[in-house]
Every structure is written in structure tokens, then in C-alpha cells.
């Protein structure tokens, strides 16, 4: 028997053992059913910035998209079932793919704090830097997983296991390419501890991610799985008006590129953020992110591609995190590739302030200084400066409106790395209208 299936078999066995233990408990007679809707309308207008290589540059571009969800939840004592059907489309898009399943899972809980969960789950951990829903994006992230663990007495420990497969390979092999997930297999262990009577929380994260490498039916490059590891932790200290957050993660093992070839990876990141809220109306934030880059990054003229000259990948990847939360809401750096296929890393120093003139309205401004982490030949490290404005208004308990505007001033380094020619200015405005009514609730 292939050893790669042993964790899956063990996990499944424990899942069913826990299922029997939980279901053996005496159920209450109360059943709960909740049905709600979520409608998100989002619009963007941008000028300058980074056009696609295959598209012509236009002065301005704009679009609207809608995301509509039907959320159904059922609970009975130790049993919980949750389903989210979702439709996402740009307004006017041809060939709408219809409704898809964003979440669909069943969860069993015991009175002792144990739980087991299986299905499609929107995972969110700590500050969502490594694992998050990325809800600002058109289609948020979810994962097909087994998850089980314990929560109680200040301790939380979650074990997650995923194994993905293409539908057309169910009876003809295990090669996984072009599926709904970013990986073939994944094993994750997350531990969190809230110190009693002290405003400090500490988390540890261990991930083992298997990516498909090689090619199917190829003797020269046979199909196989390469594994990379993510290890690190997150700390949050929040006494009264102050909140301090810090994180550190390392990536090791092997990473697979778009050609399905693997190379070793040695990358790391560190971050620190301090938030101060001296009153109900004002708040201030100060922070710094450092994400490592490749040791050597050739920068060519005219958008030409350089030849890979490094044997070890040094660029850190935020994996499955909510990237718009950390490196500027324009998502400039980890949503699109650099011209040479290299990753020069990122330094993000930011400072901001928020003002809440009423209970319903919040306004904010944030400044980002952006620079690469790697040494560049004949270029300075500074990428540019970004200023972001944002407001959020709560119209009612289930209707909210938010909007923002970003102005970025890039340098020659930004233009060369992002194949942007002479245009170094980017302007981006956006708005979101979210309506989330509860349409039905019943107990019996």
C-alpha cells in the first residue's frame, strides 16, 4: 500500500470513531434551521497600473461584478450542517458558469470539546496572512478538507487533511492538474493558546503541502508529488487601548513551477503591527512586513525575460492568505508575476489612522512605503509609495456600504519589474454594497 494514503486512512478512522462517540450522546429535541442570503455588488475603476501582456494599454478601465449566496445552516445538539451556494460573475460576462458550492460541510461536536468536520470549508486562521478567505476578491477561497481537533480551557488544536483529484482521473491515475485547489495534498496542524487573565494569544502553524510535479504518461519527467513545508507562528497582545501583532514563517522543501518542475525553496517572512485606539472615535496603526526574495534578480529592458540563474527559490509565498489585507488593497505584488519569473520579495512599511465620526461611519487613511527585499543590479530597491483612503458605512444591521481610493506612485524599479514601460502612476477606486438578510429561522 502506498504510504501517502496512510494519513488519509488514519484520519478517516479517527473521524468515524469520533462520529460514533458524538452521536452516542443524548440529543436534545431542539432543531435549528436558518436560511439567509448575501448579495455583494462590487465596482472598480482604474487608470494606469499594470496591463496584461496580451492586452492593449488603455487610459481607464472599469467593471462591476456581483456575488450572490444562499446560506443554509442546520443544528441539532452535537450535529451541525452548513451549505453556501454561490454565483459570481462580472456584469455582462458571457458564458456564466452558474451556481457553485462555496461551502458544504458537516460537523460533529462532543461536550468534551472534541470536533470532527468534513467537506468544503472556508478556512481562516489568526490574521489570515497564510490561510484566509480572501473575501475581497471576486471569488473567495475555500478548501475540501477533513478537519478535527479540540477547543477548550484556552487551548485550540486543529488537524487538517486534504487530498484532491480530477474527476477524469478517478479510475485512471492520481495526476492532479487544473483542479479547484492549488495543491494535490495538504496536512496542517494549528495550535492556539489564550493565556487566562492575560491579554496574550499565541499560535503555531505547521503545514506540509504536496504539489503535482512531472507529466502524466512521461518516462522522461514522470508524474510525482513534491512537498514543501510552512512553519511559523503568530502572536497577539492586546492590553486595553493597545494591540500588538507579530508573525514569523519559514518555507522549506520543494516548490513546483508552472512547467511542473520542482526546485528547493528557502524563504521566510516576518511582520509586526501596532494598533492604538485611545478612544471610541480614533485609531492609529503602524507596521512593517518583510518577505524574502530570490538572491539574484536580473532586470532587463523592454520586458524581456531573463534566464533562471538561481538553484534555490528564495521568494516567500503568502500561500492561501487574504493578501489585500496586508500589502496594499491593490494587491500589486502577489497576484501577478514579475517580468523574469523571479520574486524580489517585498518590504512594506505602513502607517495609518482611522476616524469614526458616528457609530455607523468609519473613515481611514493608510500610507505604504514599498521596496524589494533582494539586491538589484543598477536599480534602487524602492518600488514606490501608495496612499489609500477608505470609508465604511453601516446603513442597517444587514446592509453595509464601503468604498476606497488608492493612488500609487511607482519608481523605475516598479516599471522595470512589472513590465510597465513609462507609466508609473496607478489610480484605483472601488465600492462594495453588501446586503445580508436573514430570510427564515425556525426551531422545533
**How far is the C-alpha of 247 from the C-alpha of 126, rounded, in Å?**
10
Does residue 176 lie within any of the structural domains?
A: no
Does residue 32 lie within any of the structural domains?
A: no
Please tell me the total count of domains within the chain. 1
For residue 231, what is its C-alpha cell?
512553519
CATH code, 210: 2.40.160.100
Does residue 47 lie within any of the structural domains?
A: yes
Residue 331: which of 62, 135, 122, 39 has the closest Cα? 135
Extract the runs of DSSP E, i.e. beta strands, from 257-381: 262-264, 267-276, 282-291, 346-355, 361-371
Pair 211, 228: CB distance under 8 Å: yes
For residue 68, what is its C-alpha cell?
450572490
Q: How far does CA 9 lie from the centroid of its chain?
A: 28
Mean per-residue pLDDT for 50-76? 74
Does residue 140 lie within any of the structural domains?
A: yes
Q: Provide the pLDDT confidence category of residue 94 given band limits of 50, 70 and 90.
A: confident
Does residue 28 lie within any of the structural domains?
A: no
Does residue 174 lie within any of the structural domains?
A: no
**What's the mean pLDDT when you consider all of the chain?**
86
Does residue 29 lie within any of the structural domains?
A: no
Write the pLDDT tens digit of every residue in 344-368. Answer: 899 999 999 999 999 999 999 999 9
Does residue 33 lie within any of the structural domains?
A: no
**How far is the C-alpha of 75 from the C-alpha of 396, rounded, in Å?**
27
Alpha-carbon torsion angle 72, 78, 79, 82, nearest 10:
40
Position with higher pLDDT, 286 vs 89? 286
Write the pLDDT tens digit of every residue in 268-292. Answer: 999 999 999 998 899 999 999 999 9
Specify burial of residue 84 (Cβ count, 10 A radius: 0-12, 13-18, 19+).
buried
For residue 405, what is its C-alpha cell?
481610493
Structural domain including 332 reads: 3-23+39-51+60-169+182-443
Pair 128, 143: CB distance under 8 Å: no
Amino acid at each position: 500500500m502506498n504510504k501517502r494514503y496512510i494519513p488519509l486512512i488514519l484520519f478517516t478512522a479517527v473521524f468515524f470513531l469520533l462520529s460514533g462517540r458524538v452521536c452516542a450522546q443524548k440529543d436534545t429535541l431542539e432543531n435549528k434551521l436558518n436560511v439567509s442570503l448575501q448579495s455583494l455588488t462590487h465596482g472598480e475603476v482604474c487608470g494606469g497600473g499594470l496591463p496584461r501582456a496580451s492586452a492593449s494599454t488603455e487610459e481607464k478601465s472599469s467593471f462591476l461584478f456581483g456575488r450572490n449566496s444562499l446560506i443554509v445552516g442546520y443544528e441539532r445538539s452535537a450535529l451541525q450542517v452548513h451549505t453556501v451556494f454561490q454565483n459570481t460573475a462580472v456584469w455582462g460576462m458571457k458564458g456564466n458558469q452558474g451556481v457553485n458550492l462555496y461551502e458544504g460541510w458537516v460537523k460533529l461536536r462532543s461536550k468534551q470539546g472534541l470536533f470532527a468536520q468534513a467537506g468544503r470549508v472556508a478556512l481562516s486562521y489568526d490574521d489570515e496572512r497564510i490561510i484566509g478567505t480572501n473575501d475581497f476578491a471576486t471569488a473567495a477561497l475555500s478548501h475540501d478538507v477533513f478537519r478535527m481537533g479540540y477547543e477548550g480551557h484556552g487551548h485550540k488544536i486543529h488537524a487538517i487533511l486534504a487530498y484532491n483529484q480530477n474527476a477524469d482521473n478517478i479510475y485512471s491515475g492520481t495526476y492532479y492538474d487544473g483542479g479547484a485547489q492549488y495543491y494535490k495534498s495538504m496536512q496542517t496542524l494549528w495550535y492556539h493558546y489564550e493565556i487566562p487573565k492575560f491579554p496574550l494569544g499565541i499560535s503555531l502553524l505547521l503545514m506540509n503541502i504536496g504539489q503535482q510535479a512531472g507529466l502524466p504518461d512521461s518516462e522522461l519527467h514522470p508524474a510525482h508529488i513534491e512537498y514543501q513545508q510552512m512553519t511559523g507562528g503568530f502572536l497577539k497582545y492586546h492590553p486595553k487601548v493597545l494591540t500588538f501583532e507579530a508573525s514569523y514563517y519559514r518555507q522549506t522543501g520543494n516548490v513546483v513551477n508552472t512547467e511542473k518542475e520542482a526546485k528547493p525553496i528557502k524563504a521566510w517572512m516576518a511582520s509586526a503591527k501596532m494598533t492604538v485606539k485611545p478612544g471610541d472615535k480614533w485609531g492609529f496603526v503602524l507596521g512593517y512586513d518583510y518577505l524574502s526574495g530570490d538572491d539574484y534578480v536580473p532586470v532587463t529592458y523592454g520586458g524581456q525575460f531573463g534566464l533562471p540563474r538561481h538553484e534555490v527559490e528564495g521568494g516567500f509565498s503568502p500561500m492561501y492568505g487574504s493578501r489585500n489585507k496586508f500589502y496594499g488593497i491593490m494587491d500589486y505584488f502577489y497576484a501577478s508575476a514579475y517580468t523574469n519569473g523571479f520574486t524580489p520579495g517585498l518590504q512594506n512599511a505602513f502607517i495609518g489612522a482611522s476616524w469614526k465620526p458616528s457609530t455607523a461611519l468609519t473613515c481611514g487613511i493608510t500610507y505604504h512605503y514599498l521596496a524589494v527585499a533582494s539586491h538589484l543590479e543598477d536599480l534602487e530597491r524602492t518600488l514606490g509609495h501608495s496612499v489609500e483612503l477608505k470609508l465604511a458605512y453601516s446603513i442597517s444591521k444587514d446592509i453595509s456600504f464601503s468604498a476606497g481610493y488608492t493612488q500609487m506612485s511607482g519608481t523605475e524599479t516598479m516599471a522595470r519589474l512589472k513590465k510597465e514601460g513609462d507609466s508609473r502612476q496607478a489610480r484605483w477606486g472601488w465600492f462594495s454594497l453588501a446586503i445580508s438578510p436573514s430570510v427564515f429561522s425556525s426551531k422545533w
